[in-house]
Amino acid sequence: MEEGEKDESEGGVWSWGAGTDGQLGTTILEDEHFPKLLHQPLLSSVSSLACGGAHVIALTSAGKVLSWGRGNSGQLGHGEVVSNALYPKALTSLDDSFITHVAAGWSHSAFVSGLDFSAVSLSAVFLKRISVESDYTGCVFTCGDGSFGQLGHGDYASHSSPVKVSCFIDQHVAKVACGMRHSLVLLKGHCSGADCPGNQVYGFGSGKRGQLGVNIDRVKSVNVPRLVSGFEGEEIVEIAANGDHSAAVSVDGHVYTWGRGFKGFDDAHTPQCLNSTLNFTKIALGWNHALTMSGEGEVYMLGGNHPGVLGDPQNTKSEKHLPFSMHSGDQKRQPKCRTNRLREFVKKDSNMTALEFEDFREANLEKVPGLDGMKITDIASGAEHSFLFSEHGEIKTWGWGEHGQLGLGNTSDQISPVTVSLGYDLNEAASIRVFCGSGFTFALGSGSELPVAVYRMESQESSTYFGIHDALCWKAMCSAPKAPPKFDNYEGM
């Protein structure tokens, strides 16, 4: 490469795996078994992705949204129902909003806005302080399949264009997550003190397996957001959803799961704290397994001991016979978290020794093998496949490979992590993030930053802050706004 010539892999977007609905963005309706670098000009400023059942939502550094792939339920948000879209296309209906976060479920999509240009007058900008942390932050829009109430509009209608969820209009929404047929929303608290509820999580959509966390036994569905119970005294900073699973991570590194039980455990209708002394920073959910990443860069897994996910089925310990399930105990009152629940159990069981207690604390988790000495910086999970990214730029994968979603050039399953090559010699400083759909995978290079939200303008009268990304957004503000793959391993379908 000549000096001064830009490496096209920097900030690039790669895709592989199931592609028969156009979800790979390659313009060809077929699977890809190797990572393929996409040559789409619209993707040059993409900063984050959300991958659903067979569609993709892309977020740019300027707060704009693109989508492509399957659109038979309106999940692409383009105002029409289409079988598929082969090329990335902008969601023009969101042009008046600065989008900060996106999520994709099986057939629905969700968007969090930072600033609604159409709702802010120029006088408001110049006469008061406006930032993304203020009153204009955090509306939620949803579109796609609404047959289980997962759009949160109080009905079971589907929408082909994003519609604002009225419940959150006056709230500060931080993040949204979409599962198979349900949605989660994380609200950021504005207050402080003992009487402040702090950050809150809401759920809506299908609740048959307890994935809404609303403490209603076997509720079929909820079409308006309901507060998830069980987070009293905890500050939640991350949420996740996939299949019929839901999860959250607290600022103290506690992990909560609810919904369909992982292998060996019953369904949980309220959040249950994971029994571990580890401090976790992230959780990634699959249909039958979950990955958790600790602050030390170690990765553990729940529910993965079955073919196509992780481990040798002939050499895995059974979790069914554990004396204490992480989803058992008093649903009405949960201890703060972690070892507190185990200590309460030990007090009732005089036969458990101190050594057995120490071993049992981590019994719910299986450490991902083959990563000794490797610090992991990011994790991702699809329906039945998983990815890791190390601090030295190495990408590892394992799991179900039927559609080439592992990127190894074949359709074989992998029972332990193996290295994936993107086909480029990446700069040592390059950062790659991996995003998994149900049976496909995307990798995003480090060319773009996440949408950030506060800028400052000086005037003779005062200083003004406003939640727009750059001068282009300011200019827009000053002008008048204008056949799917088969997944046989999923038990909840």
Q: Which domains does the chain have, with CATH numbers?
A: 13-478 (2.130.10.30)
Place of tokens 């600022």: 251
* Structure confidence at residue 481 as a pLDDT band (50, 70, 90): very low
Contact call for residues 52 and 104 (beta carbons, < 8 A): yes
In this prediction, residue 448 carries a pLDDT of 46
In this prediction, residue 137 carries a pLDDT of 60
Question: Is the pLDDT confidence value at 452 over 50?
Answer: no
- Which tens digit of pLDDT belongs to each residue from 329-382? 333 334 456 444 444 444 444 455 544 444 444 456 889 999 988 999 999 999
* Structure confidence at residue 264 as a pLDDT band (50, 70, 90): confident
In this prediction, residue 10 carries a pLDDT of 58
| 291/382 Cα distance (integer angstroms) | 11
CA distances to 99, 236, 490 from 203, rounded to whole Å, are 21, 14, 22
- Which tens digit of pLDDT belongs to each residue from 145-154? 999 999 999 9
In this prediction, residue 115 carries a pLDDT of 60
In this prediction, residue 309 carries a pLDDT of 56
* Structure confidence at residue 423 as a pLDDT band (50, 70, 90): confident
In this prediction, residue 389 carries a pLDDT of 95
**Token representation of residue 250:** 């607290």
| 369/332 Cα distance (integer angstroms) | 37
Beta bridge partners of 400: none
* Structure confidence at residue 275 as a pLDDT band (50, 70, 90): confident
Q: What is the 3-state secondary structure (H, E, C) of the chain?
A: CCCCCCCCCCCCEEEEECCCCCCCCCCCCCCEEEEEECCCHHHCCEEEEEECCCEEEEEECCCCEEEEEEECCCCCCCCCCEEEEEEEEECHHHCCEEEEEEEECCCEEEEEEEEEHHHCCHHHHHHCCCCCCCCCCCEEEEEECCCCCCCCCCCCCCEEEEEECHHHCCCCEEEEEECCCEEEEEECCCCCCCCCCCCEEEEEEECCCCCCCCCCCCCCEEEEEEECCCCCCCCEEEEEEECCEEEEEECCCCEEEEECCCCCCCCEEEEEECCCCCCEEEEEECCCCEEEEECCCCEEEECCCCCCCCCCCCCCCCCCCCCCCCCCCCCCCCCCCCHHHHHHHHHHCCCCCHHHHHHHHCCCCEECCCCCCCCEEEEEECCCEEEEEECCCCEEEEECCCCCCCCCCCCCCEEEEEEECCCCCCCCCCCCEEEECCCEEEEECCCCCCCCCCEEEECCCCEEEECCCCHHHHHHHHCCCCCCCCCCCCCCC
Contact call for residues 24 and 35 (beta carbons, < 8 A): no
Mean pLDDT, to the nearest integer, of 55-81? 97
CB atoms within 10 A of CB 336: 13
The angle subtended at Cα 23 by Cα 59 and Cα 288, nearest 5°, is: 90
- Which tens digit of pLDDT belongs to each residue from 195-207? 556 689 999 999 9
In this prediction, residue 34 carries a pLDDT of 98
| 84/87 Cα distance (integer angstroms) | 9
Mean pLDDT, to the nearest integer, of 215-231? 87
In this prediction, residue 80 carries a pLDDT of 94
**Token representation of residue 26:** 């390659």
Average pLDDT over the chain, rounded to an integer: 78
In this prediction, residue 427 carries a pLDDT of 59
The strand pair at 455-458 and 440-444 is best described as: unpaired
| 332/270 Cα distance (integer angstroms) | 9
**Strands of 139-144's sheet in order across:** 97-104, 108-116, 139-144, 159-164
* Structure confidence at residue 430 as a pLDDT band (50, 70, 90): low
- Which tens digit of pLDDT belongs to each residue from 289-335? 999 999 999 999 998 755 445 554 444 443 332 322 333 333 333 44
Mean pLDDT, to the nearest integer, of 257-280? 91
Question: Is the pLDDT confidence value at 263 over 60?
Answer: yes
